[in-house]
Structure 1
Amino acid sequence: MTGSTQWIKRIKQLAALTASVAMMFAVAPASAIGAEGLPAALKRTVKVFGAGGLRGLESYSTGFLVSPEGHIVTIWNHVLDVEPITVVLDDGRKYEADIVGTEPKLDLAVIKLRADSERFDHFDLENVPSAGVGDRIFALSNMYKVAVGDEPVSVMSGVVSAVTSLEGRRGGFEIPFEGDVFLFDAITNNPGAGGGIVITRSGKPLGMIGREIRNADSNTWVNYAIPLRDLKTPIEQILSGTYERIETRPDDVAGDQLEPADFGLVMLPDVVYRTPAYVGSVIPDSLVATAGIERGDLVVFIGDELVQSIRDLKSALAAVEESDDVRLIVRRGDELITVEVTAPEKSE
């Protein structure tokens, strides 16, 4: 057996051991880890599968049931860029699901199982608790795709280490949520964990695990969750069909933010709320022209950010800072093409 083969075998053994430990911890009796409501919480947490597989973009994430009809709260990300979405419950039951509503500025999405005649156990968001520094929590998520069938999701134990605003970045992009978040001493910042649920020791829903991000100042990974107290009203309004997405007011936009034209992109007219981000033309000798972007290309990702409309495109580019490395993924016919450019200085 060659040296490289031995290393591959050892890595696989270590990965299997890690997954086994995570699963054993997830299914441990509630009394063993001090959470009375943990078994019920595990049944209400689901595995979400959808788009991904491109350059480190995982095709899986996590969600949690919030209604008896099968509504699920999850994180708004690229995994949802497919129709239909696949959801697997704790007991292995598999359903197709559709997007009901989203709020990108809160990293929030609500999807619904295609199961109109069934009823599901779910988290009650009527009385969402608060938490402070030192409070014990449990974080439930499908990190690293440990659970794919009838396995429960993984559980991590920790404490709230801070309740504060978050200066975080995902690649070259700032996270959209502007309120205070819960910071933990548990490592919740894992692939697939986004959209997972953080609960109190008694099993009450406390927060939604956010996307993988780094601290903008220290460049270290951040373990955090968005408080459900900030998501409760938008979730209820999405369920009732009365929600109106948050708009960016003109006075919220700084004059030094980058725009599509700064990269050489001229988009089609933004005539409806979700006009697809098709490239109308490319400015000759511009950054994107040199990189190979062509007229008619559909921009689907900027970095790891899903682009569902021209508004999304403008918002993502506005969050880019000068000299950031920016990755664009465009669809050209049936082909996905990736290009990378360096953000320019904002023209005066």
Structure 2
Amino acid sequence: MTSQGRLPSLNSLRAFETVARVLSFSRAAEELHVTKAAIAQQVRILEAEIGALLVERTGRGLRLTEAGMAGLSDLRDGFGLLHRATRAMRESSGGRMLVINSSPSFAASWLVGRIGQFKKTHPDLDVLLDTSSETPDLTGTVDAAIRWGRGDFPGASPTLLFSEHVFPVCSPALLTGEHPIQGPQDLVHHTLLHLEWNPNFATWPDWGVWLTAAGVRNVDTSHGVWFNQMSLALQAAVQGQGVTLSTRAIAADELAAGRLVTPFDTEVSTPFGYYFLCRSDQVAAPKIVAFREWLISEATKSGLVTHTDKV
């Protein structure tokens, strides 16, 4: 076979695909469990075989050259097919693994405490719970994902599990004491715990929006403590540090255990929700159906908003 027809090594192709996806030698090294130097060397080997520069440094990091971009889509598809073929061979030998991806906050606050029940009712399925902040590539090793958003997930078949509604929560200790919370106007005596919101999602209701809905005007929302994750604000509320806005998906277990209470009835709806995502060609796969139906059942038991199938 000529040099032009010979495939480069899988190691160098995998190193380049990972670098191209995360645009960082360091993050690629962490993902592949090798050193940064090893990743850089594999990319150089591939560039030598291809005969072109694939990745170049910029003032802010890395970027792909035109040659690097040219084959990236097909390369990703190729690795996706390899993963699926390997999974099919493994499952045909008797092992059935279900890989579910979730955001860290949702996994920690809701999914982890329930996943054991799925395993009990489906002993033939092993489950790998993978967490990441970004929506995963469903053509690779991940079977399905649970993601928060508006429902627009290109390349995936989404099922709305439950919508998001925002309301205040606090420790039951704040219902008594020197300034007991009996009505929304009593918030003037308590610390407001805020979520430092992503500007890409400007429609998320903050304290000002909730107080307007509750008809309260005398509470200053410019002070308090800010958090970059709702789960952190929730833990501060559990510890009696103040009052925060939350959702049932994040606060369900703390509310059920009595560590948090909802002092008021007013809720503000949002255009967001939690979605179950899978590939369109896997919608009817038995293990996908089993996990999706289990999620819907657990969401209903948790008192979350009833799902709407396939949006």
Shorter-chain TM range is under 0.3
| TM-score normalised by structure 1 residue count | 0.24
Structure showing the higher helix proportion among its residues = 2
Is the radius of gyration larger for structure 1 or structure 2? 2
